[in-house]
Copies of this chain bind each other. A is one copy, B any other.
């Protein structure tokens, strides 16, 4: 069995580019930063960039390509964003139309690639500190919820913050605040701990995205701003075309998670 966890990012990207890997990337090239993808045309790029600047907890940009470029120069200068992600989703006028494994045929000369940090980066140090991460234990996707917390509007982009949730013991929640505070560029500290209704979540067992996980009797739900926020918001604005990564199928960069820590 291939040990994807110890492979280098460029070796994994080569497998993906050759069509040999077409599924989720969790656990691959351990220690390297995985990123969410949003591709938009130039006409939306300024508003989207401003939206990310105004909402850094939900939209932690790790790289933005030059206009028309599919190379994320600062995090993987030999990558081709059109080919190096296992699965992509195409949205036309805000509607999901197809899932593909290569978007070369969809590429236009005025497209811009936005790469956004993902919570995989802070789950590694949580696990290293002995804090269990439930959706990993249960082998499913992290539960995500729309909240009643409005994002700061920027041009055409506006909408509520989406959060991810990890249940944990109360003492671990305090430790998790400390650990994730070290990663302000990857969602940073939680935005809420405890009663989900306080942030507009009516049923914590029915997430809007991802899967429900078990919350044990002695645990408290801990919520982080989620990188799905900018995708959800962009979708609402119904751009003629938007390309994203497929759920769980991230871009694996050459950047080390440790480089994203401020301490």
Q: Which of A49, A154, A262 has the most CB of B within 10 A?
A: A262
B54 touches A53 (CB 8 A): no
Query: What residues of B have a CB within 8 angstroms of the CB of A189 in the complex?
Result: 262
Measured as residues with beta carbon below 8 angstroms from the partner, the interface class of chain A is 20 to 34
B49 touches A74 (CB 8 A): no
User: A262-B188, A263-B263 are contacts. A50–B64 as well, Cβ < 8 Å?
Assistant: yes
Q: How far is the CA of A73 from the CA of B262 in the complex (A)?
A: 27
Q: Is A181 an interface residue (CB 8 A)?
A: yes
B61 touches A74 (CB 8 A): no
Query: What residues of B have a CB within 8 angstroms of the CB of A263 in the complex?
Result: 178, 181-182, 263
Q: Is A99 an interface residue (CB 8 A)?
A: no
Q: Which residue of B lies closest to A45 (CB)?
A: B46
User: A53-B53, A184-B184 are contacts. A152–B74 as well, Cβ < 8 Å?
Assistant: yes
Sample (9) of A-B pairs whose CB atoms are under 8 Å apart: A45-B46, A49-B49, A49-B50, A50-B64, A52-B53, A54-B74, A184-B184, A188-B262, A263-B263
Query: What residues of B have a CB within 8 angstroms of the CB of A181 in the complex?
Result: 262-263
3 smallest beta-carbon distances between A and B, as pairs: A46-B46, A184-B262, A181-B263
Least distance between A258 CB and chain B CB atoms (Å) = 14
B50 touches A54 (CB 8 A): no
Query: What residues of B have a CB within 8 angstroms of the CB of A54 in the complex?
Result: 64, 74
Q: How far is the CA of A46 from the CA of B188 in the complex (A)?
A: 26
Q: How far is the CA of A73 from the CA of B53 in the complex (A)?
A: 13
Q: Which residue of B lies closest to A262 (CB)?
A: B184
Q: 1/0 per residue A64-79: CB within 8 Å of B? A: 1011000001100000
Q: How far is the CA of A50 from the CA of B46 in the complex (A)?
A: 9
A53 touches B45 (CB 8 A): no
Query: What residues of B have a CB within 8 angstroms of the CB of A73 in the complex?
Result: 152
Query: What residues of B have a CB within 8 angstroms of the CB of A52 in the complex?
Result: 53
